[in-house]
Structure 1
Amino acid sequence: MRVIVAPDSFKGSASAAAVAAALAEGWREARPDDEVVLAPMADGGEGTLDAVAAATAGSTRMPVAVTGPHGHPVSAEWLLLEQPDGTRTGLVELALCSGLELLDELEPQTAHTLGFGQAIRATLDHGVDRLLLALGGSSSSDGGAGALTALGVRLLDERGAAVPLGNAGLARIAAVDWASLAPLPAGGAVLLSDVDNPLLGDRGAIAVFGPQKGVTAGRAGAAESALARLADALVENPGGALPETPGAGAAGGTGFGMLAWGATMSSGARAIAETIGLPASIVGADLVITGEGRFDGQSAGGKAPVEVARLARSSGVRCALVAGLVDAPPVGFDGVVSLSELAGSVAASLADPLHWAREAGRRLALE
């Protein structure tokens, strides 16, 4: 048999590359003569850069020093992908530059995306032909204002001074100067996201994602007003972005800022699958194994396992799902293994997820 192993990360417990290796090890234990191809996946969230690097030959990690969301220096990296035709793509993961995990304490009013923009600027200075921008894991609700600042946009108050970084500073915007905005690379910039939320409103960045970034109920109104002020100030923008554009609310509104620059929104999982050549790898396979930490009601909204299953079906290949916890009907899969059921409890599976992933791979091979 030829088996493709393409899981997403089990967020908070194991990377996509580690889960793929564990599943493959378990499969080979039961069927050592089969061909097992590792193709760790991502959907634009944390771990996207690692997953693409592990699945793509010829990729190069490019170190870059940026200003973190707390205002202190952060050592980050972006990924250079060189295509056979000579095209060079730069992949920047927001979480590595401006992510939630970089903060010791949440800073809902002042956290910003300046570092994300600085990393993007580094790829442009390197001369990439195309950009992939992974938006998951943001620490801020600044609407991408910090990133735009790094790209040359000047957000000014009534006195003509630069407004402070972070969500709270957006309320002071009186004028916008686009004159020094860095141009997009020739092949454009693609935003990788698994959400379609608008910037404002009941499904917007503050209402849906604000609490995880520390926005309290008492602060939510002011935070929403600050984002609305940014939207009003950027009403005329190069990308023609609107607050209601699907995905504008991604990553604390960073989707809106990057759309205003001229980037385009894409399903993160679909773009990553194409980048690592997964559709071609699946053709002719006998089975695809995918998975994620928690398969729930949100999984159908663009998460990696559902995209992998779609690709498998389109090629007439069976697809099995492995998840730490299965919390919704797994429609469209030919087999399902829950690590929590194998381990006897959620706590037990979380204590040693790679052990149970190996066991899941072995069980699937014996079916």
Structure 2
Amino acid sequence: MKILLALDSFKGTFSSEEIAQHIKRALPEHMRRACAIQVLSDGGEGFTQVFKSVAGAKIHRTEVTAPLAEKIIAEFVQLGQRAIMETSAAAGLTLVKGALRPDLATTFGVGEMMRAAVEVGASELVLGLGGSATCDGGAGALQALGVLLLDQAKHPIPFGNAGLAALATVDFSPLALPPSLSLLLASDVKNPLLGENGAIKVFGKQKGVMPDEEPYFEARLAHFANLAEAARHQGFRDVEGAGAAGGLGFGMLLLSPFLKSVKIISGFKFVSEFVHLDEQIAQSDVVITGEGKLDRTSFAGKVVGSVARLCQQHRKPCVAIAGLCELSQQDAKDLGIEKVFAIFESMPPSLEKAKADTPSRLKTLLSDFAL
């Protein structure tokens, strides 16, 4: 018997590897020996973790600007001339320790990380889009890369979505990236920048945008898009994935005429092909997947839904373990999940409490686990 543990990270609490280890320890003893762990990501938190243990991988640490402008150390992985990095390492929700400030949060650190990768010799950057605390349309990252975003007085605009209101001029000519660079944007979403399906309407709430604030955030993003696209003489706002990471996808797409190539790719597909996940599932008897919160969005290009589809193709049973579950067992079954185990019935009072209670709750939940 072989059990494959193929989970996404549990946002803000456990990495993919950590939660898999907790699940393995909670299973009946005779099953633990049959477990194999495969770290997964769809481009969000934990994306670079997949590649850290690869032979020849170099882990670089560089100082960057965090979402609310404090200095932190971010990591990225270099494999030959390819550098693999994640937005959440420099602009992630988990980096904001106090109240969320989507009006001020910046992607400046992402641009700094990209420049650091070029400085160590990377000719291709793979940037995982996801888990950001930002709604700045990638403006901060562009500023870090040398693009001038100026107000009427020809001063750089302030960081964050709020700063976009002052934007008067966009000038790409000082861009500090080599034209030979290739940029792959690994995204877990297909949302455009604006509108009912856009960055603010769909993802603003999780970044701290209140419902009555949405029109203002949306208007500032639209203002930025209007000026940036006019400077580029090309539109990118409706490209699938432009709304990823608070519009960072859009900001990076604006660089396409200045670089060798800029493409949005499936983050899950990039990872799953790299680790040969299809073969691993084919050789397993049962697959356990999961993420922090299981709902219908889990089946829109994300790890859980993608793993479930592969299991269906190979006719392998797929079980999901989630911190919280907003689906009924029947809903889950209809989406390819044999059974769902929810660690908590309602949201714990804090992430710290969730982290502390998870091991014991898993032990209780899985003590009688049977295939």
So what's the TM-score if we normalise by structure 1?
0.85
* Cα 1:30/1:359, change in 2 over 3 Å: farther
More displaced stretch, 248-257 vs 271-280: 271-280
- Counterpart in 2 of 1:318? 317
User: 1:298-319 CA distances to partner (integer Å, 9 max, x unpaired)?
Assistant: 1111120111122233344433
- Counterpart in 1 of 2:172? 178
So what's the TM-score if we normalise by structure 2?
0.84
Aligned partner of residue 246 in structure 1, secondary structure: coil
- Counterpart in 2 of 1:206? 200
Aligned partner of residue 21 in structure 1, secondary structure: helix
Write the distance in 2 (CA, Å) between the matches of 1:229 and 1:2. Answer: 54
Write the distance in 2 (CA, Å) between the matches of 1:128 and 1:227. Answer: 31
Write the distance in 1 (CA, Å) between the matches of 2:317 and 2:233. Answer: 40
Aligned partner of residue 309 in structure 1, secondary structure: helix
The answer on 1:73 being equivalent to 2:71 is yes
- Per-residue deviation at 1:171? 2.1
* Cα 1:163/1:289, change in 2 over 3 Å: same
- The one-letter code sitting in structure 2 at the alignment partner of 1:286 is D
* Cα 1:208/1:305, change in 2 over 3 Å: closer
Contact 2:82-2:125 at 8 Å conserved across structures = yes
Write the distance in 1 (CA, Å) between the matches of 2:293 and 2:235. Answer: 33
The answer on 1:153 being equivalent to 2:120 is no
Contact 2:162-2:220 at 8 Å conserved across structures = yes
Write the distance in 2 (CA, Å) between the matches of 1:146 and 1:72. Answer: 14
Equivalences, count: 357
- Counterpart in 2 of 1:276? 275
User: 1:32-90 CA distances to partner (integer Å, 9 max, x unpaired)?
Assistant: 653x3210212222233335436x4543321110112222211111122x2xxxx4432
Question: Which residues of 2 match residues 1-367 of structure 1 at below 5 A?
Answer: 1-27=1-27, 29-31=29-31, 34=34, 36-53=35-52, 56-80=54-78, 82=79, 87-103=80-96, 104-183=98-177, 188-236=182-230, 241-262=235-256, 263-328=262-327, 329-330=331-332, 331-333=334-336, 335-340=338-343, 350=354, 352-357=357-362, 363-364=368-369, 366-367=370-371
- Per-residue deviation at 1:215? 3.2
Contact 2:312-2:336 at 8 Å conserved across structures = no
Extract unaligned runs of 5+ from structure 1. none
- Per-residue deviation at 1:17? 0.7
- Per-residue deviation at 1:27? 4.8
- The one-letter code sitting in structure 2 at the alignment partner of 1:23 is I
* Cα 1:355/1:143, change in 2 over 3 Å: same
Write the distance in 2 (CA, Å) between the matches of 1:25 and 1:258. Answer: 41
* Cα 1:291/1:243, change in 2 over 3 Å: same
Aligned partner of residue 130 in structure 2, secondary structure: coil
Write the distance in 2 (CA, Å) between the matches of 1:222 and 1:197. Answer: 19
Write the distance in 2 (CA, Å) between the matches of 1:327 and 1:115. Answer: 34
- The one-letter code sitting in structure 1 at the alignment partner of 2:94 is E
Write the distance in 2 (CA, Å) between the matches of 1:277 and 1:186. Answer: 29
Write the distance in 2 (CA, Å) between the matches of 1:15 and 1:300. Answer: 20
- The one-letter code sitting in structure 2 at the alignment partner of 1:59 is A
Q: How much identity, in percent, do the aligned residues show?
A: 37
Write the distance in 1 (CA, Å) between the matches of 2:57 and 2:73. Answer: 19
- Per-residue deviation at 1:116? 0.9
Contact 2:50-2:271 at 8 Å conserved across structures = no
Write the distance in 1 (CA, Å) between the matches of 2:61 and 2:365. Answer: 36
* Cα 1:227/1:27, change in 2 over 3 Å: same
- The one-letter code sitting in structure 1 at the alignment partner of 2:172 is W
* Cα 1:232/1:37, change in 2 over 3 Å: same
Aligned partner of residue 224 in structure 2, secondary structure: helix
Q: CA RMSD in A?
A: 3.0
Contact 2:199-2:244 at 8 Å conserved across structures = yes
Write the distance in 2 (CA, Å) between the matches of 1:57 and 1:362. Answer: 36
Aligned partner of residue 77 in structure 1, secondary structure: strand
